[in-house]
Structure 1
Amino acid sequence: MSDVSELALKPALEAVLMVVDEPATEEHLAKVLERTPREVAGALRELADAYAVQGRGFELRLVAGGWRFYSRAAYAPAVEAFVLDGQQARLTQAALETLAVVAYRQPVSRSRVSAVRGVNCDGVMRTLLQRGLVAEAGTEPETGAILYRTTNYFLERMGLRGLDELPELAPFLPEADAIEAETQEGVPSFDPDSPDTDEDDKTTEL
């Protein structure tokens, strides 16, 4: 393994700044890379100037006493489009059905949602979590299973002031306990990383 002090300074700074969670000070960077603060300060300013001249999509900024990479303001529309793309994508029919079960049975475990739907819902539950439509709500006392509930974002997207405004649909959803009682094996154990078995191409905007 090479001595840190033997590494080229500018590429080393770029590599470190790619992984920082918050602005890194010149003093800290100098200590890590075994250089003087003056050397580091000069190299950082030269990098920042070079990125500006090259018109790169990112820039190196001194913020709150430290340095960090940021996307260039001129390309904000591209970044916004990328970030919002996943939030505006349509939900599949399977995801909508899973969301409905959570909404009417919350707080509810993933295995009970799967029992109501009769299929593995792990994949769509991950999608709903990533979309911010459902969130964890503690654990089930009897089993320790994680419970899930809908979020304020769900209410916002549905145009509801509260869960009490949900339409009267609950009586038509089968009880998970009743379904479990019909089989000796109970709720099947699913692999969290396995794909949802009934994910289809039917999508709905939400």
Structure 2
Amino acid sequence: MTAPPPEPPAVETPTEDQLAFDVADFPGGIRGALEAVLMVVDEPVTTLALASALEQPIDAVAAALADLEQGYEEQRRGFTLREVGGGWRMYSRHEYAPVVEKFVLDGQQARLTQASLETLAVIAYRQPVSRSRVAAVRGVTVDGVIRTLLTRGLIEEVGQDEESTATLYGTTSYFLERLGLGSIEELPALAPYLPEVDVLDEIAEGGRG
């Protein structure tokens, strides 16, 4: 008889003790911890949210953010930290716009992956649409793909959802130019094959439950 295949190892969910930390134990302290978080966010994060994540007093976090912003300015780093719309986020410094623009334009010569094409199609036909709704349609996380499409100049932020405050995305004029279209209305009739917005909401809610 053929032996049954071995069972896959169990994946343990980290406990609260395993997730516990003290920013004082990090080499860079509170400022290093802030940098680590700000490097992975796609949207501005409030001081309160950062203080909650780091489990630090809001005044201490506000002071550390100000120190980081000043330090980047004094060191003339290629990036800066700015407070925009009530939240903090890393940005490329405007003096380096020429090299960033060249990098972006050179990157546009490469072909998009299948994942990027699928995500772009969902945004094109359902815009303005939030990241969570796009992820609900594709059934996978789309954070990295969204960043790629933003970098390529094919999509852009077009506002915020009034209820959830989530960032909404839409296609750009460059997208229309690349497809040889005069407007979004000229897209092929593919929309009927995509779930309606209310269905996407139900899927997204179910995924968060």
Give the TM-score normalised by the residue count of structure 2: 0.49
- Which structure has more relative contact order (CA 8 Å, sep 6+)? It is 1
Give the TM-score normalised by the residue count of structure 1: 0.50
